[in-house]
Amino acid sequence: MSKNNKKNVYHKVGNSKGKSDSHAPKKQYIDMYYMNSREISVKEIYECLLNDKPELKECVEYWEEAGVLEIMVGEDGSIDMEMLELSEDELADEFLFSNKIICVYSVHTNTELLQELKALFGIVVEKHGGMLCSDTADFQPILVK
């Protein structure tokens, strides 16, 4: 699955003050996929998370037309999702085809937030099904309903 097939381009903006802390360890990032056999909008994901965790209201934003959802975690962490537009060739991929996957979101965060990511996607997977998969050749699912 090519990351160049994103429906809309979404980039995080760096430190607005232009300063960097050379003593802070560099964050390591992880990319994953949320996949589902039905179309699911970012609004549905947003509402699912807020129904279960209303305290997230000030931390979650979504842009429905762009297919983007951002969850702010802590002071400088985030979990970013973006709907991917899949080509016919990608939909014919053996894994996607055999699991009847038609909706895929890329999920990006730093490795320090992996437990939060799993907890939040546990809520989404429980309510809407689908799976959270690693960005590997076989997608080794992490969370599956």
List, in sequence order, every residue forming a beta bridge with 144; answer none if it has no partner. 131
What are the CA-CA distances from residue 106 to residues 18, 24, 75, 103, 131 (Å)? 28, 27, 23, 10, 12
- Quick one: pLDDT at residue 22? 58
**Distance from the Cα of residue 65 to its chain's centroid:** 16
- Quick one: pLDDT at residue 27? 83
Q: Where along the chain do its domains lie?
A: 29-144
Tokens of 108: 């990006």
Compute the distance between CA of residue 7 and CA of residue 15 in angstroms, rounded to an integer. Answer: 26
The whole model's pTM is what? 0.79
Which of the four CATH numbers 1.25.40, 3.40.1130, 3.30.310, 1.10.10 does domain 29-144 have? 3.30.310
- Mean pLDDT for the stretch of residues 127-136: 94
- In this structure, the number of other CB atoms found within 10 A of the CB of residue 19 comes to 7
Q: Which residue has the higher pLDDT, 14 or 1?
A: 1
Q: How confident is the model at residue 23 (pLDDT cuts 50, 70, 90)?
A: low
* pLDDT tens-digit readout, 52-80: 999 999 999 999 999 999 999 988 899 99
